[in-house]
Structures are given as structure tokens and as C-alpha cells.
Chain A
Amino acid sequence: ARSSTVEGSLKYKNFFGYGDLWDGSLAYGYDHSAELSAGVFLPRFKGLVTPVTARAYLLSQDWLKFSSYKERSMGLSLGLFSTPYHDLAYNLAWRTLTDPSQMSSRSIRRQLGHNLLSSLKYTFKFDRRNSTMRPTRGYAFVSTTQIGGLTPDSRSLRFLRQEFDLRYVVPLGFYHAALNFGVSGGVVFPWGNGFSSRPSSLPERFFLGGNISPVCALGGPTALWGFKTRGLGPTEPKRQVNNENADPSGVDFLGGDLAVTALADLSFDLPFRWFREKGIHAHVFACAGNVAKLTENEYRNISVQKFVESLRSSVGVGLVVPTSLFRMELNYCYILKKLDHDRAKTGVWLTFSAAS
């Protein structure tokens, strides 16, 4: 999840008498996204070993404020294979990017239009942490590979996307304290003729920032404490309508093809019984991350040194309130390093995260 969401759903069990589970749901995200979907879960379908899920959805995401475009998707996703460690899903969608504000930058304008997405996504997940809300020992590794363009039609969206997450938690033995280390990375690249000179698809790129906690997020590089949604990375000036009112913050965040984040989090109980009983604890944290462009031959200009030199970072301290539904953090973040156009602030932040 890129941001916290509120979801409501209706379920109907055993409609056909095969243990089938039907559901319809409506979800609204903090990042101005809305999704209407309906799905079915079949525990046993035609002798297949694992359950099969099918989901039809209508998704709308409003990125006008950050990147001057709106995304609408209509599609079907099929869960083909699912075990505690492996998950294989196929997604077929009609996706449209529009800019009703007509203020987008050049790179965004070039991406507006319709695309057919036909992709296969494989996830390997190995989570040996004792808790996802407050891990105090264990480790986790998640790798997600997505291949797009699986149709005979060469006009569908062709890309290769790889993400990974690594978490390691060291218990410290006092005040229920634990040191949580994490690193996440991801890369996306188009494939096909002339792939190195073509841009990657905008929705497939990596965007860092948002109001979710990096400790909980296990879906690739997504969040950094102290940075707003899509708050860092390559930018491009938006369209200028009136030259006299040049807006210094009038930029579009374009995302990147390569993203890396790292975190270190020390969590510990507070010396008050009431807090301990409720599970409320404190943490001190530090994180760093960066996003870079590789496509359109930009990979020739990038180097490890440049990438490391432009790493953004922040530190902070906060209170964590875990509930049965989500984990809430009230943090004070101090931005150690940011670049000119980054949307980050030193101050109080509130984050909501679901267990992943």
C-alpha cells in the first residue's frame, strides 16, 4: 500500500455450494485513490492445488497535486497460485492517464493516453518476524517480480519490474526493545525494441514518500519518514500559464526507475504500565532513500557515487499505537538532507499503516 486506506466490503459465502466466497468492496485511500471491486475466492477449482481468486475492479487515482495526472484503470486480476511463500497473479487492465488540469510538464504529457496492461506478478515472501505490527525478533524477505506485455499484441505495455525487501530485527533484552533494520530496492525497465531510449511507464515507476511507516511497509521502496506523498525524486517544471506569476513549487514529480530505501528503528516500551498494557511504545528512527531515472539513456549518466551523494535522509522520535486494525505513529521528524524541490518538513507527522 502506498498510503493508508479506508475500505468497506460485503461478503457472501457459499453461493454455489463449493465453498466459494464472493465479495464486493469500496476502498478510499488517503492519496486520493478510490477503488470499486468485486471478486470471488474458490478454494478448490478444477483440481488445482491452491485456491483461485478472481477480481474485477475499477480504480481511480488522482495524482494531479503531485504529478499533474489522473489514472483510471478497469481490469481483471486472477490469483493463479497462492501459498504462504509463493503467490502468482495475472492482471489484465485498460489503463488511461489524463490531465484535466492541463498543467502537466512535458514528460507527463508524453505519457497521457490509453494502454493495455497484461502482466504476471510473482511474489516470494518469507516472514519469520514475531509480529508485523511490532516486530521484536526475526527476519523477513520479500521479492516481487512483475512482467508486463504478455500478449501477442506488441502494442501493450511492456516492462520488467523487480522489488525486494529485507528486514532484520535484533532483540535487545531490556524494556522489550528491539533494533529493526531494513533495506528495500526496486528497478523498472521497459523491454522490446529500442527499450533503452524509451521512457518507463509512469504508474510503474517508483515514488517515495507518504504517510505510511517504513517499518510496516513490505511492498518495495515506498515510504520515508518526513517526506510527503511523492515528495522526492526527479522533477520537471509544470506548464506556465502566466509568466508574471512563476510558481517556484510548480513542479511535477516524475518518479524513478531505480529506488532504494534503508531504515533503522529502535523500539522500546515506555516506563508506564498503562502504556505497556495497551501496547503503546516509543521508537527512535533514521532512514535514507533515493530515486533515480535510468531510462531514455539516463543510465549512462548515473553512478553509485552520484546516487549516494543525492541520498535523502531523516531522523526522528515518536510514539507508536498498535491496534488490531492498523498501526498509528505520532512522530517528530527532523530532515537531515533533502534537495531543492523535495516536499519534506521537519515537524510532527501522523502515519497509519496496515499490517503486511
Chain B
Amino acid sequence: MEQVVGEREAEEFTVVARKPYFGLPTACPICLPLFIYLKLAHFPFRLSFNSIFPDSDQIPYVESGTYVAYNNENSGVVECLKKDGIVDLDSEFQSAPDWVSIQAMINSWLADALTYELWVGTDGRSAYKIYYSDLSWPIGKVLFLKQVYSVKQRLGITKDNAEHREDEIYRRAKIAYGALSTKLGEQNFLFDDRPSSLDATFLGHVLVTLHVLPDTSVLRSKLLEHDNIVRYAEKLKTELIESGSSSSGPQFRSVPSSSTPRKGPSNWSSKPKSKPKREKTEEEKTFKRRAKYFLAAQLLAVLLFLSVMGGYDSGDLELDDEDEGISFN
């Protein structure tokens, strides 16, 4: 049940998150669960954006007067709000036997899978739009490359084990989706048909996977295999985001995407997509090998040219000397 501190009711709460994109109020997978959590709790707040600090671990944060709850404190903003007695949806669920395991699965396997897919698996195009599109190009580019490197370091991805790690990440995501699909069944929420913070976290993950990742995403295709999860996400998206609640703040303005319009849920294919990544990697290797041969051939040609021209030039000089000798005589 939600608990609201009376003395804070007079001060408006503001959530500072990353910018809206792809039809979502905030397209960042860390910020969206907080937005959904407050919506599930029918907690009134305003939404504000910071689009010049993509590498900050303080965002999202909630502020009201001199009170601030940062993302990098006390295990996140949701936990801060619970601890400070502002909003708590989980008071009756945390003793549930599978609460911890489901929480661990969502916050580790699914979070890692989405991080991988967003920054590495799909070349980071969507991530660039969310995090760096409001920064000047040189700064955005450098920060993006730094973040991709950081993600690879955190997930333990190297050139040697890239394919193996990718398989492992997708496999774990598939297991997690299966378990959560079974847990959810045809209920409206994960636990006792009432909303909890895990619904907010899971729903945030699902919405980003469905709306932010491109159609060729392997993770997205694995998620689409579970119709009940897709229905759960779309239903709650309609209730919480598109229709808006009476206690919410100003409606967000989503930035229109420059890509082709996304298809609705009824048109999403549930068939898993083929895996173009492997073929592309082999093609890349072949291309790189041929490029190396070409460059080596060019270098050899230049060396041959220089050596041949060097010998011809010396011959000319000798002939000139003979001419001079003949004319002198």
C-alpha cells in the first residue's frame, strides 16, 4: 500500500529523468521504471529532463523543496522513497518466497541483456538518440564510445569471447522471460494481481525492449515469443502512459523519431528473427582480410616502383657522363 508523508504533500515532487523518445515518457531503461512506479502508486509528480549529463549515475532523481532522492543512493530512488516513507508499494510483498529471486533475475539477467542489446548488440544507435542527441557532436561521440567500452568491460566482453558471452546473455534472458511469463500467467501484475516495484522494473524493461530496440534485435524477438508479457505491457502502457492519470503532472512531449513508424502490437511478429549478426561478423572478417591483402599489394607495388625507378635514374646519369666525355673529346 502506498504511504505518503503528510508534510510533503504541500511541496510538489519533480522527477528529473532522461529525455522522452520512441513514444515513451522517458526512453532511458533506468528512468522509466521510476516513472512507472510513481504512476502505479498514483503519486502526483512533474516530469523534468536533463539531457546534457548522460554519464551521470545520479539520474533519475526525485526532488521536492530541499529533499532529493538520487539514483545512486540506497539502492535507487524507489528504495529511497520507501525508506523515507514517501511511497511504498511493496510492504506486503517482500516476504513472498519468490520475491528475492524474481528481483534478482530482473535486476541482473534482464538488466544485463538490455544493456548489452542497447549498447553493443544493436550498435548503439537507439542509445545514441536517447543519451547524446542533445550534446554537441564531438562530446556526444566521445562519451558514447567511452560508454560502449565501459559496458563491454562490465559485461566481461572481449574479442575472444564476444560470441560466447552474447550467447550466454541471450540464453539467460530467454530463461528469465520464460520464468516471468509463467509467474505472470494471465494476471494483471506479478504478485497477487496488485502492483509492486517489480512490476515497474519489469514493465520498464519490456517497454524499452519493445519500443526502443530495432526490429532486428535478437532480445526483442525472444521477448515477443511470450504473448502474455506483451499484452501485460501494452495494457499497462495504455493505462499509465497514454491515457494519463488524474494526479499526474504535465504530459510529456515525446520527440518524433526520424525512423519509419513503429508497428503496433497486433502487427508484431511473434516468430523469432533470424540471426544476421553471425553472418555479418563473418563478412566483416572476410572484408578485413581482403582489405589487408589489398593494402599489402599496394605497398609492394610502391616499393617495386621506387626501386625500379631508382635503377633507371642511375643509368641515365651514366649515359649523360659518357655524352659529356664524348663532347669533350
A residues touching B (Cβ–Cβ < 8 Å)?
94, 98-99, 102, 105-106, 109-110, 112-116, 151, 153, 155-156, 237-240
Contact = CB atoms under 8 A, between A and B. Distances in A.
Given A102-B73, A112-B56, A113-B52, A239 B137 contact: no
Contacts of B73: 102
Contacts of B53: 112-114
B16 interface: yes
Nearest to B50: A113
A94 B138 contact: yes
Nearest to B134: A155
A301 B125 CA distance: 45
A102 B72 CA distance: 10
Given A112-B53, A113-B52, A240-B66, A155 B138 contact: no
A116 B139 contact: yes
Contacts, number: 52
A153 B141 CA distance: 14
Given A116-B139, A240-B66, 13 more contacts: A102-B70, A102-B72, A106-B63, A113-B56, A114-B53, A114-B143, A115-B139, A116-B136, A155-B134, A155-B135, A237-B66, A238-B66, A239-B66
Contact of B67 (A112, A114, A115, A240): A240
Nearest to A115: B52
Contacts of A114: 52-54, 135, 139, 143
A180 to B, nearest CB: 43
Interface residues of B, number: 23
B131 to A, nearest CB: 11
Q: What 3 A-B pairs come out closest when comparing CB atoms?
A: A113-B52, A113-B53, A116-B136
Nearest to A99: B58
Interface string B123-159: 0000000000011111100010000000000000000
A47 B125 CA distance: 46
Contacts of A105: 66
Nearest to A110: B50
B120 interface: no
Contact of A94 (B58, B68, B139): B139
Interface in B137-192: 137-139, 143
A153 B63 contact: no
A340 to B, nearest CB: 17
B67 A116 contact: no
Contact of B68 (A98, A113, A153, A239): A239
Contacts of A109: 16, 61, 63, 68
